[in-house]
């Protein structure tokens, strides 16, 4: 599996653990104040990262492009900052709002990089030999 796909799956699993832990925390305490952080940990952290990982696993030529690395590191930095900041903000630490805003914009930038990877040309030299080629 390409390194970037493996990295996305590692990021995904970390956030699945974090997201479920927050869900359990809310269920056990009966306080649902961090629903937003839980939902974003699970959907941006776990589900979206896993989908990125599947994409790169299925497209190894695109995974070798430098932009794929940029996509991973910008996205990882964004969610690693956003989820704890959102969690704290929802618990009343209003000062976290700026961090949530900046990291959200960073996540958006990473998604735009992913769009360039998807719509961009596959590097010729890095193209995988077709399984159907004789």
Site residues (CB under 6 A) for ligand HEM? Answer: 19-20, 23-24, 26-27, 32, 35, 38-39, 42-43, 46-47
Backbone angles phi, psi at 123, to 5 degrees: -55, 130
CA 55 to the chain's CA centroid: 12
CA gap 7, 79 in Å, rounded: 14
Least CB distance to ligand HEM at residue 87 (A): 13
CB closer to ligand HEM, 83 vs 117: 83
Query: CB of residue 46 vs ligand HEM: minimum separation in angstroms?
Result: 6
Q: How near is the Cβ of 43 to ligand HEM at its closest, in Å?
A: 6
For residues 8 and 49, the answer to whether their CB atoms sit within 8 Å is yes
């Amino acid at each position: 599996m390409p390194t970037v796909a493996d990295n996305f799956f590692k990021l995904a699993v970390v956030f699945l653990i974090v997201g479920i832990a927050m869900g359990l925390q809310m269920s056990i305490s009966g306080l649902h104040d961090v629903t937003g952080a839980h939902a974003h940990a699970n959907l941006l952290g776990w589900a979206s990262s896993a989908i990125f990982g599947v994409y790169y696993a299925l497209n190894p030529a695109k995974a070798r492009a430098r932009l794929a690395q940029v996509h991973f590191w910008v996205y990882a930095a964004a969610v690693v900052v956003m989820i704890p900041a959102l969690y704290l903000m929802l618990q009343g630490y209003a000062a976290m709002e700026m961090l949530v805003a900046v990291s959200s914009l960073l996540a958006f930038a990473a998604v735009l990089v992913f769009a360039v990877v998807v719509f961009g040309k596959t590097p010729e030299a890095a193209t995988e030999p077709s399984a159907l080629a004789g």
